[in-house]
Amino acid sequence: MNFDYAETQQLVAASARDFALQYIQPHIMEWDEKQTFPIALFKKAGEMGFMGVLVPEIYGGSGLGYHEYIAIIEEISKIDPSIGLSIAAHNSLCTNHILTFGSDAQKNKWLPKLATGEWIGAWGLTEHNTGSDAGGMNTTAVKDGDDWIINGAKNFITHGKSGDIAVVIVRTGEKGDSHGMTAFAVEKGTLGFTSGKKEDKLGMRASETAELVFDNCRISDENRLGKVGDGFIQSMKILDGGRISIGALALGTAKGAYEAALKYAKERHQFGKPIAAFQGISFKLADMATEIEASELLLHKAAFLKNKNRKMTTLSAMSKMFASEVAVKVANEAVQIHGGYGYIKDFPVEKFYRDAKLCTIGEGTSEIQKVVISRNILK
């Protein structure tokens, strides 16, 4: 078993790190405070190959695997988790759904635009009254000749306003029927398809979150992804990979907070010595480093299974749950190590603290991950 980073992983990690330092770091607090979604940045990310990481080169993507994908999301999230979140959502949800379940014609039509960053993708499963209970969704698609008429709304959608295309899972059968939902791709500008409220959030503020609204939105059957009734099953498979994404986001967030705390603990002096010399602080740092290391190992094991197309639902849930809970814990300890300075915006840890919490909620809460894990280990 080889734990060394392959050369490709090292190269993409360095590229992502340089990109984040040059194009993201100077604007972190400005974007955070104004809730700016920096569309131009994602066009640049597309030029760098970060918007189609898993997409084959024939569609304009980078053709990389999940180990490289983790490295990219991690390095960007170490600088700004909100940008890491948007790149992760674009890659693993919308783009990957089309890549995995789209027809050849659909892939040729949409993937080159998504993989190059020309278009930004959104993905919609959650609704106002159906979060974890996705089977109870109210948004419907009714067949009308060769078209479908969609009515309803999705919320908490990353890129809900600025996305150029959204993959949405809507009800085409009975509520609660796992085969009663179907996936469709809907382009921006389609009559009856608009965006609603943009959320004012605690953290991840440079990553846009908004409603998708459908009012007698007519789309062609050519926009259907896969078979009628397969939408929920598809979305569960997409979320398997998406959990690696959020795990990578959490890993980068934890590393960013830890590295800031480590630096501060070495520089801050009290009672004539750096605070890192005190056991109370050094033990915190030891725990943080250990749990980050464990997160990374879990994630790369899940990535290994995903790359091999082996069953990895349990491990992806484990890695997502563990890494996200570690991110929250590490960010909390980083603030504590900074003391009063951890509570002000002149130091980066207060933002890591606010951003980290989303990792335990998005793409399946920690509690839902425990449901997934327990079901599988008890089979």
Q: Catalytic positions, please?
A: 363
User: Distance between alpha carbon 36 and the CA centroid of its chain, in Å?
Assistant: 18
Tokens of 231: 């939408």
Tokens of 175: 């509520």
Alpha helical stretches, state H, the chain: 7-19, 28-34, 39-47, 66-79, 81-89, 96-101, 104-115, 231-267, 279-307, 313-338, 349-356, 366-377
SS3 label, residue 152? strand
Q: How far apart are CA 32 and CA 20, in angstroms?
A: 15
Alpha-carbon separation of residue 358 from 247, 264, 338 (angstroms) = 11, 25, 22
Asked if 91 and 245 count as a contact pair (C-beta separation under 8 A), the reply is yes
Q: How far apart are CA 73 and CA 356, in angstroms?
A: 14
Residue 223 backbone phi and psi in degrees, to 5 = -90, -5
Residue 187, beta-bridge partner list: 165
Q: How far apart are CA 206 and CA 203, in angstroms?
A: 8
User: Distance between alpha carbon 77 and the CA centroid of its chain, in Å?
Assistant: 10
Neighbours of 283 (CB within 10 A): 10
Alpha-carbon separation of residue 101 from 1, 159, 228, 230, 285 (angstroms) = 33, 21, 12, 10, 44
Q: In degrees to the nearest 10, what's the CA dihedral of 276, 280, 281, 282? A: 70
